Amino acid sequence: MDLQNFTRLPTSHGEFKIQTISNIDVENPHLVLINSLRQTSTVNVRIHSECITGDVFASLRCDCGAQLSYALKYINDHGGVLFYLRQEGRGIGIEEKLKAYNLQDEGEDTVSANLKLGHQSDQRTYKEVVDWLKEQGIQKINLLTNNPDKVSYLEDHGITIAKRVSIIIEPNVYNKKYLETKRTKMGHII
């Protein structure tokens, strides 16, 4: 693996190497963070979609910031790769996500709010992740996720999932319905 295009990124979770990878939206490239690829045949991987409200502002409406923190610590402790994909709001963007929040405040759940706004419940793809893993010769991974769609997408595109590592986040009063919707309507394993 060529780490020459990476730069050092010290964080509160440990030190990582970081680089951008191609994205259709050239103004907002995806990011790859690596901490010591210790495994020879199986690599720990987290695919994390951008959530400015959770990742940056520590919103309690979702579990995104807590999942990101967990994944960074896990990868620091065990080695691996974290993909930070610029897919705000499961691919609908920040403006539409905030509209969805308003609908949720009126009683809709996260899925029905997206549908009411004319979007799919989840518009993300993981093509750039698959491309990057294959370019690096990585065929087999341990995937840190609760989302069965991520598992299916990677397996359907030739990446073997050796193990799925759950990220369990304690619900709070603000995200309890959100987490329940992810479990019941989106099939998340939480």
- Residue-wise pLDDT for 120-163, tens only, equals 888 888 999 999 999 989 999 999 999 999 999 999 999 999 99
Both 106 and 145 in one domain: the answer is no
Both 68 and 98 in one domain: the answer is no
Answer yes or no: is 47 within a domain.
Answer: yes
What was the pLDDT predicted at 21? 87
Long-range contacts of the stretch 161-167 (C-beta < 8 A, 24+): 162/42, 163/42, 164/189, 165/44, 165/74, 166/190, 167/67, 167/70, 167/71
Both 71 and 33 in one domain: the answer is yes
Both 109 and 177 in one domain: the answer is no
What was the pLDDT predicted at 52? 97
CA atoms of 175 and 63, how far apart (whole Å): 7
Domain that holds residue 24: 7-87+126-186
Both 132 and 117 in one domain: the answer is no
Both 83 and 171 in one domain: the answer is yes
Both 69 and 143 in one domain: the answer is yes
Both 16 and 110 in one domain: the answer is no
The count of structural domains within the chain is 2
Answer yes or no: is 2 within a domain.
Answer: no
61 assigned to active site: no
Residue 165 exposure: Cα atoms within 13 Å on the Cβ side: 16
122 assigned to active site: yes
What is the pLDDT averaged over residues 45-71?
A: 96
Considering the candidates 46, 86, 90, 124, report the single residue annotated as catalytic: 124
Considering the candidates 2, 122, 131, 149, report the single residue annotated as catalytic: 122
Both 97 and 30 in one domain: the answer is no
